[in-house]
Amino acid sequence: MAGAAGYIGGELLRLLIGHPEVEVVGAVSSRFPGKRVDGVHPNLRASTDLLFCSADEVGECDAVFLALPHRAVMTQIDHWTQRAELVIDLTGDFRLDDPSAFERYYGEEHQAPHLLDAFVPGLPELHRERLRSANLISVPGCMATSGVLALHPLVEHGLIETGAGVQIDARTGSSGSGSTAGPANLHAERSGAMRVFAPTSHRHEAEISQHLGVPARMTATGVEAVRGVQTICHATLRPGVDKAAVRRAYRRQYAEEPFVRVVAHQRGIFRYPDPKILLGSNFCDVGYALDEDTGRLTAIGALDNLVKGGAGNAVQCLNIRMGRPEALGLTFPGLHPL
């Protein structure tokens, strides 16, 4: 695993160390080579004696996870494909299949455009069959995963107008900025703030558009939480679509999915998806509300950005690719109260 000292890397280590059929043979960190893993990830005390290592110390293995900074993997991909048959990338480098879209959203030319089509999106709910034989997997961004899963039943069953696209309001906790985030994420600056950091053109909107085939526009706001993502997605129903049709679409789409739960209750504190009760879990809760008189529909998705929005989704893809039970090592349900 490369990038093992970051927040996503720590979650990968937590899940993989506890996985009954995985042996972690290398935890790569350029900042802490030779240091104990549990010195950086104190929650892993008594769980592992691993030391961080350099990339050159990693030999051949069955699979490698890349949790490096964005734009780093595309310059190192050849190194890692020589180390492992299966490469699972958790960065944004291979999420978009159009090099011009990558340049627009990431601000530079892609360094390995010939491989963009080779990566299979690490989103089991949409690409499970392709993942069974994939050797290159790109895990989507956290807000993209939440938004896609919230909207997918509506698009798949033809229930919304797609010409005008969808509008997404995404809220995220501070861990989404990574463990080396700058001054904007100091406690003194972040505490009490609801900071709109991407009013337009957030890179995850490109992923949502690509996965759904529908134009997406997204605003992203940082809120006073450490973990968690919630996406509020606005769309217009097609004429004649009612609440019963929407309910059927969600139930049918996700009836057999192990990590997507439909949450749209009439009463209760958590009657709509809320990331608070999902922290540490690999679940994505999705729900909806609609005004049949106006045809306005709001779809809601929630997840833990570090788990179903990152490390957990990656392990889920590993299980599928290796022919293991999909939920292996991923059954923690979250905590309440918290």
Q: Got the DSSP string for 175-201?
A: GGG-TT--GGGSHHHHTT--EEEESS-
Catalytic status, residue 142: yes
Contacts of 265 (CB under 8 A, 6+ apart): 271, 272
Q: How many other C-beta atoms are found inside a 10 Å radius of the C-beta of residue 175?
A: 25
Spell out the residues 6+ positions from residue 91 whose beta carbon is closer than 8 angstroms to its own. Answer: 66, 67, 68, 69, 70, 71, 72, 73
> What secondary structure letter does DSSP report for 60?
-
Q: Determine the 3-state secondary structure of 158 from DSSP.
A: coil
Within 10 angstroms of residue 204's Cβ, the number of other Cβ atoms is: 28
Residue 21, number of CB atoms within 10 A of its CB: 11
| Phi, psi at 275, each rounded to 5° | -65, -15
Q: Using the Cα atoms of residue 94, residue 98, residue 101 and residue 102 in order, give the sign of their dihedral.
A: positive
CA atoms within 13 A on the CB side of 320: 26
**Measured distance CA(207)–CA(43) in Å, rounded:** 32
Alpha-carbon gap, residue 62 to 84, rounded angstroms: 5
Q: Which amino acid makes up residue 5?
A: A
Catalytic residue among 142, 233, 284, 317: 142
Distance, CA of 79 to CA of 98 (rounded, Å): 23
Name residue 304's amino acid. Answer: D
User: Which residue blocks in the chain are alpha helix, DSSP H?
Assistant: 7-17, 37-40, 73-81, 99-106, 124-131, 142-156, 187-190, 203-212, 243-254, 312-321
Active centre residues (catalytic)? 142
